[in-house]
Amino acid sequence: MPPTARLLAERFWPGPLTLVLRRGRRVPPASHGRAGDRGRARTRPPVALALLAAFGGGVTGPSANRFGQVSPTTANHVRAELGGAVDLVLDGGPCQVGVESTIVDATGEIPSILRPGGVTREDLQTVLEHPLEVPSTSRVRVPGQHPSHYAPRARVVLVEPEQLLSEAERAQELGHQVGVFVPPSFTDVPVKAHAVVAVPTSMAAYARELYGFLRELDQQGCDLIIASLPAQEGLGLAIANRLRRAAGPRRC
């Protein structure tokens, strides 16, 4: 574990930060899939830490959702999506952050952010005292890099804020069941749509509720979701990343 990784771990663990490290010899290959000589490490919420303490060892597991689909933020989301495919759902309460952890590649001399998340780039840069890049591609395979990810059943379309109203109206006229993410500045503006989500003013609240909003619009029968990206600073960077993936090209 290089000094940079130790510094970040000491500052942000426990918390929503994943560090990509070179795999030690004690880590079995089966635990990291195709990650080559790299392993991922991050802390867990209290209920999972209690499980690890009772188990007395390490646990490797995937995310609790189908590949490419909306991440769960409650135990009910997991039950609804996986059903009988799992024997037990351990309920530690709703996620406090919402979006996944920030993934930092700490295998080289200069760390980089492979996936924006619950720890902001600004906070990381303050600790490291130098800028951090967020490359569009990476030689290290990590979750959330597929062009289509975090996607609801409804198709997601991203537009500029000033185009939200006209795009929603046009889609309605074409016969779509439209869901619209309305920014805080639009709350008093009538939107012609099948369903409307009022985006919270707080980016922390938006990050916490984002996946619930996407699931809600699916449940309301929307086949098209129209949204705009928030300012890409603080948690807005992670939210924008998830929305872009949700709007990405799908296999079918």
CB 203 within 8 A of CB 230: yes
CB 213 within 8 A of CB 150: no
User: Quick one: which of 162, 241, 235 has its CA closest to 200?
Assistant: 235
- How confident is the model at residue 11, as a pLDDT? 95
- How confident is the model at residue 110, as a pLDDT? 85
Summarised one tens digit per residue, pLDDT across range 112-141 is 999 999 999 999 999 999 999 988 766 666
- How confident is the model at residue 39, as a pLDDT? 57
- How confident is the model at residue 64, as a pLDDT? 86
- How confident is the model at residue 63, as a pLDDT? 80
- How confident is the model at residue 118, as a pLDDT? 95
- How confident is the model at residue 230, as a pLDDT? 96
- How confident is the model at residue 61, as a pLDDT? 75
- How confident is the model at residue 139, as a pLDDT? 65
Going by the DSSP 8-state scheme, the letter that residue 119 receives in this structure is S
- How confident is the model at residue 192, as a pLDDT? 78
pLDDT less than 50: residues of the chain: none
- How confident is the model at residue 35, as a pLDDT? 54
- How confident is the model at residue 65, as a pLDDT? 84
Structural domains of the chain in order of their starting residue, each with its CATH number: 3-128 (3.90.870.10), 155-246 (3.40.50.11030)
Backbone angles phi, psi at 158, to 5 degrees: -105, 130
Angle between the N-to-C axes of helices 75-82 and 203-219, in degrees from 0 to 180, rounded to the nearest 10: 30
- How confident is the model at residue 26, as a pLDDT? 77
If you compute the radius of gyration of the chain from its CA atoms, what whole number of angstroms results? 19
List, edge to edge, every strand of the sheet that includes 17-22.
38-41, 17-22, 102-105, 112-115
Question: Can you give the pTM of this predicted structure?
Answer: 0.90
